[in-house]
Amino acid sequence: MIRYLKNHTRYNRNISFTKERSFTVMMAIFNFLGSIFGYLLYAAYFLVQNFGVAIIIFTLIFKIILFPSSVKQQKSMAANSKMQKKQQELKEKYGNDKQKYNEEVQKLYNKEGASPFGGCLTSLLPMFVMLGIYYAVVRPISNVLHIGAEKVTEIMEVANKFPGVSINSSSIYSQIDVLRLFNNPNTLPLMQEKLGSAITQAEFSQIQNLSGGFKFLGFDLLSTPRVEGFLSIAMLVPVLCLLTSVGTQIYMMKKQGSMSGQQGCMKYMLLALPLLTAYIAYTVPCAVGFYWIFSNLIGFVQSVIMYKFWSPAMVTARKEGAHIALLEQQEAKVEYDYNPISSPVVENQNQKKKNKKK
């Protein structure tokens, strides 16, 4: 029994270690993508000298780049939607014979040129890219300015020595909190004095310049709504996060025709993720919430365009039209030879007519 408990405990620790290691690896991958995208974000910031506008330009460019992938995903969804109806027919016919059913389903996909996993890659790619963009936004010192990790740690240690300042270095939003100190005229001279030779003067100037570019349309993107209070303009950020997210989801579900099929609590489940996003936007710097808001708005516009020109019905109609046109082309290539076969009765009648004429 004791041996079993020891083995069980060791097994659970191994699972915990594996999960923690997997999470660390995933975060490292996203952070690496954020570091790459950070060069582009800094280029946009260098042009406009405003972090809010830079986020808009940066996100818009990537949405345009990923648009063909979104179209491909929409086409794949339309094909799979058509397959579901035929699959249901096969299930009714071969429901008791799973092997035969699977064989017929595979034949169906081969015939239609579709794949049950056709939209997986195209749906995962935008997610990885957007997470990379997210890491570029929330870690501006290391991923936008590309200041080394050791120097960032030194900056954190210095920042935490200030009275009333408590920055959790393990928090993903800690670098935005540090920028707030560089944007404060009361703490800026002390930061420069305390840092000393830990960072170069050029790096200090870069951080100072970046910290001054977070004012956008009256919003301070370095401020946190929870700290600023309910009556502050910063509270609009979580509210807009909620509205844009819910609006986009409702629009997409109506277009997909699944809104009417939602029952009771399922409709309220639509609010779960947007509410969570809004709460997070309430507790983190406005720069993060602003990125989510604009990403939702671009996603909504993209959805409108997609369903106007690439709705499932239109995609299916175009595919069927192309299939009919292909069949017509193939028929046109076949030589047509009219050579009717006469019956013996008809031949005898024709022969008698010829003899009478003679």
Q: What pLDDT sits at residue 185? A: 84
pLDDT at 5 over 50: no
Q: What pLDDT sits at residue 1? A: 44
Whether residue 266 is contained in a domain is answered as no
Whether residue 255 is contained in a domain is answered as no
Whether residue 254 is contained in a domain is answered as no
Q: In terms of residue numbers, what domain contains 11?
A: 2-224+284-315
Average pLDDT of the residues of the chain: 76
- 101-151: per-residue pLDDT in tens? 777 777 776 666 566 555 555 556 667 777 787 888 888 899 899 998 888
Mean pLDDT of the 67-87 span: 71
Band of the pLDDT at 9, cuts 50, 70, 90? very low
Q: What pLDDT sits at residue 11? A: 39
Whether residue 204 is contained in a domain is answered as yes
Cβ atoms of 216 and 53 within 8 Å: the answer is yes
Q: What pLDDT sits at residue 217? A: 87
Q: What is the DSSP letter of 341?
A: P
Which residues are 220's β-sheet partners? Answer: 215
Decide which of 347 and 314 is more confident: 314
Any alpha helices (H) in 49-119, and if so which ranges? 51-94, 98-112
The domain tally of the chain equals 1
Whether residue 260 is contained in a domain is answered as no
- 272-330: per-residue pLDDT in tens? 888 888 898 898 888 888 888 988 898 888 888 887 877 666 666 666 666 566 666 66
pLDDT at 80 over 60: yes
Q: What pLDDT sits at residue 32? A: 87
Here the tokens at position 343 are 């019956």
Mean pLDDT of the 324-344 span: 61
Give the DSSP per-residue string, 17-68: HHHHHHHHHHHHHHHHHHHHHHHHHHHHHHHHS-HHHHHHHHHHHHHHHHHH
Cα angle 256, 257, 258 (rounded to 5 degrees) comes to 95
Could you give the CA distance from residue 139 to residue 7 in angstroms, rounded to a whole number? 41
Whether residue 276 is contained in a domain is answered as no
Q: What is the largest CA-CA distance in the chain?
A: 129
Could you give the CA distance from residue 247 to residue 345 in angstroms, rounded to a whole number? 78
Q: What pLDDT sits at residue 237? A: 92
Whether residue 351 is contained in a domain is answered as no
Mean pLDDT of the 201-210 span: 89
Q: What pLDDT sits at residue 77? A: 67
Q: What pLDDT sits at residue 8? A: 41
Cβ atoms of 284 and 173 within 8 Å: the answer is yes
Whether residue 155 is contained in a domain is answered as yes
- Helix, strand, coil percent values for the chain (each to nearest 5): 75, 0, 20
Q: What pLDDT sits at residue 240? A: 93
Q: What pLDDT sits at residue 233? A: 92
pLDDT at 154 over 50: yes
Cβ atoms of 56 and 218 within 8 Å: the answer is no
> Cα-atom radius of gyration of the chain, to the nearest Å?
32
Mean pLDDT of the 265-274 span: 69
Band of the pLDDT at 236, cuts 50, 70, 90? very high
For 339, phi then psi, to 5°, come to: -145, 75
Give the DSSP per-residue string, 163-199: TT----TTSTTHHHHHHHHHT-TTTHHHHHHHHTTSS
Which residues are 216's β-sheet partners? Answer: 219
Mean pLDDT of the 243-264 span: 71
pTM of the model as a whole: 0.68
Q: What pLDDT sits at residue 12? A: 47
